[in-house]
Chains A and B, each alone.
Chain A
Amino acid sequence: MSAVRQFNTRAHKALADSQLQRALAKARSGFVDKRAHAAASEPDFEHMRDQAREVRQRALANLAMCLEQFEQQVLAAGGQVHWAETPDDLRRIVIDICRDSGARAVTKGKSMVGEEAHLNVALEAAGITPWETDLGEYIIQLAKEPPSHIVAPALHKTRGQIEHLFRDAHRLGERALDEVSQLVDEARAVIRERFLNADVGITGANMLIAETGTAVLVTNEGNGDLTARLPRTHIITTSFDRVVPTWDDASKIIRVLARSATGQPITSYTSFFSGPRAGNEQDGPDQFHVVLLDNHRSALLGTEFETMLHCIRCGACMNHCPVYQAVGGHTYNAVYPGPMGAVLSPLLRGAPQDDALPNASSFCGRCEAVCPVRIPLPGLMRKLREREQQQTPAIASRWLLRLHARLSRHPALYRSLTGWGSRALALAAGGRGRLRRIPLLGGWSRERDLPAPQGGSFQQQWQARKGRG
């Protein structure tokens, strides 16, 4: 089955899923309105976006230096940096650290790199129980589903579905869970216990500050702090491209991150982790590990796709994408969905099924319009379409496109052919003004009528009029 057909099979299921559609409708109005309000109430917002982009550009331009400095600072603080070329390497490194710590259970904050490496599956296989502590991640862990959004992993779930999951998992009997606040309290009670019992805490990082070897983590639940600071060992799983040179640079990213993601000026918690507990400190882990995943990212440096590494994972592109809003994240069948995922997923994983993702866009440009670091997402999707055309064997639709291009290079020939085409379609429509079924154009006519042409083509009619005049 072709990649596009696979995407459509999932999309059709999503469109017919009334629960999912309810969840998506709620998210759409929430995220879009809140981001618009945040952008409008900050007069300097466009300038902030330019500054954030400049930080990302400069970080990548000085990548080797930044990473070297970051590693030195982490080492100086008593931590360790591990370089994982592949997801497999990352899994192995994390499991080795867990085993060295004698871990049987680990708490986890949200980490998209952890998702990318399917870390939970690997931990379980190694006999280590992963406890997700981010509410959304906890919900989808119970549901045994992957995240459907990079900021709100359980965005596809309705309140009712979450209630069912909790009732099944927590054996609650008849306790009321009608309000969202009751659901949150319920999850908190379960998760709080786990913070205290975990041997290792694994979090992601939104940024790595080179000058001090500091990992920055933003959350709204505070679960990141408890995951990072209570267990004896803290492991950060992230990718090397999160690095920024200085604290000043990090603050420039923070200014646009939450505004773009949730419309908040800043998240409830912004945590800075700089190594293990120092001798004069009361709290914090004994061990501090930063595991940096590559997974084909370094291959993007210096290529036409490098700007994709500027992404700060705010999710604004998917929140504003009409395709994502229609079909949800799982339809993309990739760790990263939506417009940023439609570019990043084919570049990282490169599975044949990912070819559908850059095609599943109407190029409406809304993603680029809201991207805090102005990544030209439609342009990058177009480049991926070019790559697909060059790398895959031609199919009938490509021959048609090429024939159209060939004809278009000869306007006189084109004019006579479209003239006949217009007339033929107009005749076929009779006086009805539209056609319901058109041979060879089933892709159009399955969903919509084809408005009939008005007799001959414009060029034909124009010539005829000028001839008379």
Chain B
Amino acid sequence: MTAAQRKWIDVAVIGAGPAGVAAACAARTAGAGRVVVFDRDAEPGGILQQCVHTGFGLHTFGEELTGPEYMHRYIERARRAGVEFEPGAAVFGMEKPESRGDRQSAAFWVSSARRGVERVEAGAVVLAMGCRERPAGALGLAGTRPSGVYTAGSAQRLLNMGGLLPGRRAAVMGTGDIGLIMARRMTLEGASIVGVFEIMPWVSGLRRNVAQCLDDFGIHYHLNSSVRELRGYPALEGAVVEKIGRDGKPIQGSEEFIPCDTLLLAVGLIPENELTRMAGIGINPATNGPVVNDLMQTSCECVFAAGNAVAVYDLADFVSREGERAGRNAAMYAMGRLAKGGRDIAVIPGENVRSASPQIITGTEDIALYLRVSSPIEGKCRLEVSEGLFSADLRCARPGEMNTARLKASDIASLPHYIHSVAVRVKEA
């Protein structure tokens, strides 16, 4: 293997999904010279290439598109803007950024069949690696380790891009959106869904998906219940499901054996941040993504981040919107023109808020603060960002549905000098 040095890149984007492509496009539009998107898959588009269902683009394009159509529009737009794509190129290492004069620059390592292993330097980087699904190994399931257990997303890829139906009788563990969508998808392909089991007292996916993926097809879901044990070897023969009590513990004697040949896991998404850690960038424990400010800038000033690598979003439209912000600001940084506003003010998750992003606000631009509540409030409640930055009445607040607080740069910039943090909270009205 040779380590060939390559031509300077102004803005390098890692990941060609909805965040990365939008970031690259915005970086070019903002004036960056060379913008290159690296992605390990054979073509750009990211996970949306396997999301054949509709529901993408309502906010951006005013119509409901499938994942591939949504990405097609963004990729075409990016190509027209002069963005270069390098598919089949896996970024496997990232160095701690170095200072060059008054600015930092980034260096990372890429492996591709076409060019071998390379060290790549860039004036700024946008991290847009997306997220991964929580795998079976992280769940502590008892019993055997049979074939037939898939994360919902890997089953989705097998079915939608490979034409392979994973099984005929499937149980779904968890109520993440991809699990709900796969329950419908497999039903349409002739498989039967024997049940969807959710450990929490609420569904973690969007309500729309409960109605249109489960209710429409007569698929039953069970709250406060979870898979405890797998049976069968070498192939899955069934799952033992148990009820969960109010204390969060399994109810003795509630076990039930559910025969099935497939188990789909839809039990959570985790931002992918190996590269982020390698670069020594600070990670927020609540989101599992890098700490970012309102410019989508990480703790390394030449590295920006967007999309599900930062925090898991509900909608691709929001991911693209945040990608645009990251790309534009990365371009400005690379050109030496990034005007950062005032001082850093920390955003602290308060009452009933599990996570909020960005975690630092500087008052440079108007932003959307995205947050998730810890537990659901079914009924009127109030979302507040302290110091009078934002307040709004909500009709309800659910952990599965992100809430947004729109903050004005001028309000942030005019906070008194002794304010170093603001709290965000959601409480019953």
- A and B co-occur in one complex: no
Q: Which A residues fall within an 8 A CB radius of B?
A: none
Q: Which B residues fall within an 8 A CB radius of A?
A: none
